[in-house]
Amino acid sequence: MNVNVEDRLGGTLIKETEFSARTRAQNIETFKTELLDVLVIGGGIVGAGLIRDIARNGGIKAGLIEQGDFASGTSSATSQLVHGGFRYLLKRDIELVKTSRREREILRRIAPNLVKPIPLALLCYKGDPYPLTGIQLAAHYYNRLSKTDETEKSRAIRDVRKIQHLVGPIATNALKGCVLLWDSTVDDARLTLATLKDAHQHEAIVANYVRFLDFIGQPKTVNAENRIYRVVAEDVISGQRFEISARKIVSATGPWSDHVRRKDPSYDGTPRLLTENAKGIHLVLPRCGKADDAGAYGLIAFTQVAKQRRRNPRVIFILPGTHNTSIVGTTETTPEEDLASVRPSANEVTYLLSEAQRIFPEKTLNQDAIIAAYAGIRPLIAAKRHAHGFAKTGFVSREHLITESPSGIMYLYGGKLTTHRQMAEETVNCLAEFLNVPRVCHTATYPLPNAVGEASGADAERLVKRYGEGYSTIQKFITEDATLAEPVTPSLPFTKAELLYACWGEMAITLEDLLWRRTRIGWTRGQGVDIAPKIAQFLGEKNNWNDTKIAAEVEAYRERIRWLNFNL
């Protein structure tokens, strides 16, 4: 039964619809039987932004499929920043910075509970590739590109003791000062999920664990406007294969884009993505700076590698994470493994640990300190195009490319989390013209459903910040069954009602979905391995899992963590 939940939150009437395994099954049946106007392949942040814009526009019947869980690729493996791209300013990529700053402001406005401002201290040591004065001037210009309020103005600090008071026990030997910048933090997986839920609530047909396999022949066509494309897809959970038909297909598959394009009937044999320096990893460590989340600063510092190679300066981020942790990243290496098998290597881990230890010499930041680690592949596009595709070049851009193959299939290349909304807007402009429907973009003004609401009380405030309007549903679960207010474990704030909500309202299908992306319990000490059986048993009772299914889910999660941590 599809249950609607209506309540008032912060004085606003809200309505939330079920977004569960049952919803997924219903949507798969729709895929099998109904012709879509647009099929989006890829459920990362770019695909999510695209399907949201289409659904908000109206007049277009659209669906989205994702081969794994939503945001299970690059979109849950970022630095957890919505940022204006200060380092691109240093590279004189002014237009990209302007766009990023504007999009950051939009995301702060439409997702205030998810996209939160954070002060960043860019440390300047003797021997760094840029002087403190130069960084200060660049930061001043950076601020002028944004409409942020007075509290977010950059400034330089040269008093070493004052810097330590703000950010914690950093190395002061040869420290010349720091420049304070402002960007924003975000849980990238939850932002992707909130974006998809908005699309779902506006009648988009969305399903995870549905893998695109192939295009079926040439599109049936009378003319370009009347083409019908068919693809074969697979329900990863059941193994069943089926066809989906649509008038237009858009691939928004990030680093998997060339994999889809190779199956395009008009594929010309030329890849459009670069793998060189495309892999980035992050470590989750105990909080390095101040333990208090209130007013916690992030740090940026040029690495030793940057000092040795002044032509290619690199930086390390040390950002405050949840549950008194720090997120340390990132690397720029060439992946040796398949996209689906990307994980931190021993060398990458050693590099990040050594850089973090250098900045925080009083901390013990060794292998034993690592709480969790993750890796992703950036969808880097080659900058120069020739008649047969993109030339091989060492220069890459974080900008995006929207292109259409001779067979009429659209591909979205490049981009980043911060600018995903604009990328979607530009794409839907093209789709609306092709489909001959009125075009009005609403995505810059209407808030995301999981990012609005108010409540009083510390626990209620935590729930609203995390779930937005979903807070009302969680409260209804607890009202109906008081035992759902019990914490999953004494060391973490998550309740049983939140686990139930992840399945009912967030389409969590597997134990890994819940622990790694919906709650981030996998990013806490122990990574949830010890409580996995307890949680799986609870989910089993609520979702009619038998003992075999419960045991399989626990073992699959434990194996995933063992595999991911192999080089730690």
195-218 pLDDT, tens digit per residue, is: 999 999 999 999 999 999 999 976
CB contact at 8 A, 348 and 333: yes
pLDDT score recorded for residue 393 = 35
- Give the Cα separation of 260 and 18 in Å (integer): 31
pLDDT score recorded for residue 434 = 95
Residue 12 has pLDDT above 60, yes or no: no
Q: What is the second-level CATH architecture of the domain 117-185+275-380?
A: 2-Layer Sandwich (3.30)
pLDDT tens track for 510-531: 999 999 999 999 999 999 999 9
DSSP state of 339: G
- Give the Cα separation of 270 and 268 in Å (integer): 6
pTM of the predicted model as reported, rounded to 2 decimal places: 0.93
CB contact at 8 A, 86 and 80: no
Superfamily for 453-564? Alpha-glycerophosphate oxidase, cap domain (1.10.8.870)
| Mean pLDDT (whole number) for 9-28 | 77
Q: pLDDT band for 11, please (50, 70, 90 cuts).
A: very low
Strand locations in 109-174, DSSP E?
A: 116-125, 155-157
Average pLDDT over the chain reads: 89
Structure tokens at 124: 């300047």
| pLDDT: which is higher, 562 or 144 | 562
- Give the Cα separation of 459 and 455 in Å (integer): 9
Residue 6 has pLDDT above 50, yes or no: no
Residue 541 has pLDDT above 90, yes or no: yes
pLDDT score recorded for residue 107 = 96
Superfamily for 7-74+189-273+381-435? FAD/NAD(P)-binding domain (3.50.50.60)
Phi, psi of 373 (to 5 degrees): -150, 150
Neighbour tally for 433: CB within 10 Å = 10
Residue 13 has pLDDT above 50, yes or no: no
End-to-end CA distance of the chain: 45
Of all residues in the chain, the percent with pLDDT exceeding 90 is 72
Q: pLDDT band for 398, please (50, 70, 90 cuts).
A: low
pLDDT tens track for 158-168: 999 999 999 99
pLDDT tens track for 543-560: 999 999 999 999 999 999
| pLDDT: which is higher, 182 or 223 | 182
Q: pLDDT band for 465, please (50, 70, 90 cuts).
A: confident
Break the chain into its structural domains and give their ranges.
Answer: 7-74+189-273+381-435, 117-185+275-380, 453-564
pLDDT tens track for 333-389: 999 888 889 999 999 999 999 999 999 999 999 999 999 999 999 999 876 543 334
> Residue 422: which of 107, 12, 145 has the closest Cα?
107
Residue 493 has pLDDT above 70, yes or no: yes
